[in-house]
Structures are given as structure tokens and as C-alpha cells.
Structure 1
């Protein structure tokens, strides 16, 4: 069976917003960046009621700079070749998954903290040739 390459990703152009209600934005913004900005803005409004964030008195830092930095980071940077939010989800999934596998099936964790080997264990000691 032969695979045919598909170039859909090449022709998928991200939609961009240049102005809102006739007000021109300083930089063109994609819908994905706007979603991260609005999501972070809502999170900052909720967290503004609780102490560490509520102690910050700089309105522009809380409600403009932090959401802008988060939207820039999550749309422009990659961690280990993945989008940051996908990397974080996979890291959390790995953290909570069992780590003892045999042939891709989960096995029970040994009850004792030491390992016991069955059979013979052989080793070879290096010798120095300049010894008399």
C-alpha cells in the first residue's frame, strides 16, 4: 500500500484580525492569540480577588502585560517541539501514569524496596598489566 502525501497544512492560513470595531491594532493578531489573551484576562480578573495578585496595583501589568505575555508564549514558543499547552498536558499525563511496564502493560510495583536477581551474575575485573 502506497501513502500519498497531503499538503493541507501548507494551504491552511491562520486568520488574522487587523482592527476591532474600526480601531486599528498595533500588531495583527490571530484568533488563537486572541483566545489565549481573553482566557488569561478572565483568569486574571478571577485571581484579582485573592491575595498575591490583588496586592499588585499596576493595572496595565495585571490586565494587559500578563495576558499579552501568556498569549505570545503559548502561540510563538515550542517546548520539546510541541506547543506549550500540549507539552504541559502530556507532562501531567506522564506524571500521573504508572511507571512500571512490561511489554507495554502495566505491572504491579514491587512491595519491597530492593530488587532480587535470579540466576548467576557474572562480572569481569580489569587487571593491570604492569603489576609484577
Structure 2
């Protein structure tokens, strides 16, 4: 169990997303994780022509960009 240094951490509960509409996610995702995914995807999209990202020939990565 985590030690509490103050009561402010008790009231800061992070939001968790369990599903999008009727589609349930395999694991719950926090809003922070979704923001990291969105920001990193935008950065990869912006710099896709700059080395070393220009040397990636993986179809799974290329289909997303």
C-alpha cells in the first residue's frame, strides 16, 4: 500500500477510459496515456521525412503515418 504524505493525493484521481462507445478496450487506458500517444503520433507524422525516421520501412508504422 502506498504511503500518503498529504490528503491532496487522495482527491487527485486520474480518469480511466474503459471503452469507446460499445467497444471495450482490452486494458484500461488513462487520459495521460492517450495524450502521450497523440503527441508522439503527431511528432512522428511531422518528422517522418527526417532521418532516422525516414529510414523506417516497417509497414505497421508506415500505415499510421
Could you tell me the TM-score, scaled by structure 2's length? 0.69
Q: Which residue of structure 1 aligns with residue 58 of structure 2?
A: 58
Q: Which residue of structure 2 aligns with residue 23 of structure 1?
A: 23
The offset of 1:22, in angstroms, is 2.6
* Structure 1 segments of 4+ aligned residues over 4 angstroms from their partners: 61-64
The offset of 1:63, in angstroms, is 7.6
More strand by share: 2
State the distance in 2 between where 1:32 and 1:63 align. Answer: 24
Higher CA-based Rg:
1
Taking a change above 3 Å as real, the CA distance of residues 44 and 59 of structure 1, as seen in their structure-2 partners, is: farther
Unaligned runs of 5+ in 1: 65-132
CA contact (8 A) 1:47 1:53 kept: yes
Q: Which residue of structure 2 aligns with residue 13 of structure 1?
A: 13
Could you tell me the TM-score, scaled by structure 1's length? 0.38
- Are 1:37 and 2:42 counterparts? no
Unaligned runs of 5+ in 2: none
State the distance in 2 between where 1:6 and 1:51 align. Answer: 46
CA RMSD of aligned residues (A): 2.5
